[in-house]
Every structure is written in structure tokens, then in C-alpha cells.
Amino acid sequence: MSLPSTRSKLQKETRELLARWDRTIEEWNDPVSRRLQVEYLDQLERAVTRASEAMDAMNEVICRAQRECE
């Protein structure tokens, strides 16, 4: 699996998880759910953004190296 397709899959699955979470907190909205949001889901979203940016940068380096080796 290529880096761009892996990045796309990671982003898609994260969006799906967060959409399900949004539906969950419609029914479960208490201090525990808010703590889960802050301690895990908000951090996960930021981590996925950083990972996606790193994957893009890595892909650029790999593509450049491949072009230079041709």
C-alpha cells in the first residue's frame, strides 16, 4: 500500500470514528464522555493530522529519490 493511499485510509477511518462519536454524544453527554473527548479523541484528531502531514512529506522525499535514481 502506498503512502498516499495509507494516508487516505487513515483520514477516512478517523472521519468515520469521529462521526460515530458525534452520534454517540447525542445520547451520552456527561463528564465522562467529555473527558474521553478531551483526553483521547481530540488528541487523536491532532495526531492523525500530524501523521498525514508527515506521510505527505515522506512521499515527496520518496518520489524525489525515485526520480533521481532513474
List the domain boundaries for the chain.
Answer: 3-69
Place of cell 485510509: 9
| pLDDT grade for 1, boundaries at 50, 70 and 90 | confident
**pLDDT per position as a tens digit, 36-56:** 999 999 999 999 999 999 999
Looking at every residue in the chain, the average pLDDT score rounds to 96
**pLDDT per position as a tens digit, 11-21:** 999 999 999 99
- Looking at residue 35, what is its pLDDT? 97
Q: Is the Cα torsion angle 47, 41, 22, 34 positive or negative in sign?
A: negative
